[in-house]
Chains A and B, each alone.
Chain A
């Protein structure tokens, strides 16, 4: 089993829709969690960190469920510019190693 797993998608949604992605992780000792965004042929960029109590940044909401070992990302009112690949990142075993998921591709359609 991969340490971090994501549905590769693509998720094709119309503009204005709400879409959610999940990411599961296998190591219960994982300490920190992030969502990164990667545009085609570009470097990953931090979208948001994921806090235990959940957090929101504008149209984006991140949640952490430690009991079930997954994190989620909810995007409300999708924009064409949200089209990208969303990478789930987990800090491995409380070390300096970050483990990336393979990403979920989102396409927002006009």
Chain B
């Protein structure tokens, strides 16, 4: 099993550009989530999904969209990148939503100029 994979590992964007961060897991986990990690802020939940076709907002959803068409994939779209979105983005999955533990991908480092 590859676990949770994320692409790309690094990305530089200009303000206003859009892009999609990819996340995939091969563990058949129902729950998937996206976090951003900024210095001094810890990990903050952006969006999450409890199964294919079901998504919901987390703590900091503005400027991001998600979809969950399959159990395996959970892409995160930045609609119009802003410098405030410079961060490290982690995708995670869990076999159980509430009581389960989360498995994280290696992260995507995004710089918005």
Interface residues of A (CB under 8 A from B): 4, 8, 31-32, 34, 42-46, 49, 87, 91, 94-103
Contacts and interface: CB of A to CB of B under 8 A. Distances in A.
Interface in B45-61: 45, 48, 50, 56, 58-59
B95 to A, nearest CB: 12
B98 A87 contact: no
Contact of A97 (B40, B42, B48, B103): B48
Contacts of A96: 31, 48, 50, 56, 97-98
Contact of A43 (B56, B59, B97, B106): B106
Contacts of B101: 34, 46, 49
Given A87-B42, A101-B42, A102-B41, A43 B98 contact: no
B22 interface: no
Contacts of B90: 43-44
Contacts of A103: 42
Contacts of A87: 42-43
B77 interface: no
A96 to B, nearest CB: 4
Contacts of B35: 100
A31 B90 CA distance: 23
Nearest to A49: B101
Nearest to B56: A96
A60 B41 CA distance: 26
Nearest to A95: B98
24 contacts: A8-B40, A34-B101, A42-B107, A43-B90, A44-B104, A46-B101, A46-B102, A46-B103, A87-B43, A91-B98, A91-B99, A95-B98, A96-B48, A96-B56, A96-B97, A97-B58, A98-B33, A98-B45, A99-B45, A100-B35, A100-B43, A101-B42, A102-B42, A103-B42
B102 to A, nearest CB: 7
A87 B48 CA distance: 20
